[in-house]
Amino acid sequence: MNNHRQEDWILLYQQNPNPNALGEIFKHWGHLVYGVALKYLGNTEDANDCVADIFEKLLLHIPKETIQNGAAWLHTVTKFHCLMKIRANKAQYKQLQTSRLQYTSVHEIENRLNQLEELLSTLKEPQKNCIESLFLRQLSYEQITQEFGYSFNEIKSHVQNGKRNLRLALEKIENNER
């Protein structure tokens, strides 16, 4: 199967969706998706998230239409995904500016970081592993997969659930302080 042209892998996946074909698509074009995401989003964390998002979408939604140039098609899909993420981030930033989570001193920031560190230890082990690896150790999704054996989708899920649990716990602390 390895002697197929890159575009053939999309056709093979459309005819028979299986992880091997998607793995070959990732092997040939994962760097393209990462590069485009890094260009638009400007940081490795968001670019890694984008790669996971795109390949998750491909797993479920590779269209039945004929794709003549897989690289160009994937570039366009990635570009629009990034633009939507940028738009969503701008909306979140505006909301954050008006939230009560604005700090007025270094002491408050340090206090919040200490609380976050304590709360991190309360997360389920997979969530803690993924969040520490991605945000504190600056590992890529691929490095986390190699170290812990989690799939891209598992990492994404653990990170999203862990971040949500941390946010809820911080909000609970903040509400108790009022």
Q: 104-177 adopts what CATH topology?
A: Arc Repressor Mutant, subunit A (1.10.10)
Q: One fold for both 6-95 and 104-177?
A: no
The CA distance from 175 to 129, in Å, is 28
Pick the CATH number of 6-95 from 1.10.1740.10, 1.10.1200.10, 1.10.540.10, 3.90.1150.10: 1.10.1740.10
The CA distance from 13 to 67, in Å, is 12
What does pTM read for this prediction?
Answer: 0.48
The CA distance from 54 to 49, in Å, is 9
CB atoms within 10 A of CB 54: 22
Q: Tokens in use for 106? A: 């270094």
pLDDT bucket at 94, cuts 50 / 70 / 90: low
Q: Which one has a higher pLDDT value, 56 or 168?
A: 168
Domain ranges in the chain are 6-95, 104-177
The CA distance from 126 to 41, in Å, is 26
Q: Judge whether residue 125 has pLDDT over 50.
A: yes
Q: Judge whether residue 143 has pLDDT over 80.
A: yes
DSSP 53-83: HHHHHHHHH--SS--S-HHHHHHHHHHHHHH
The CA distance from 99 to 115, in Å, is 19
Q: Which residue, among 135, 155, 136, 137, has the nearest Cα to 145 in the 3D structure?
A: 155
The CA distance from 70 to 7, in Å, is 5
Q: Which one has a higher pLDDT value, 9 or 32?
A: 32
Task: Tell me which amino acid residue 134 is.
Answer: L
Angle at 44 between CA 41 and CA 46, to 5 degrees: 50
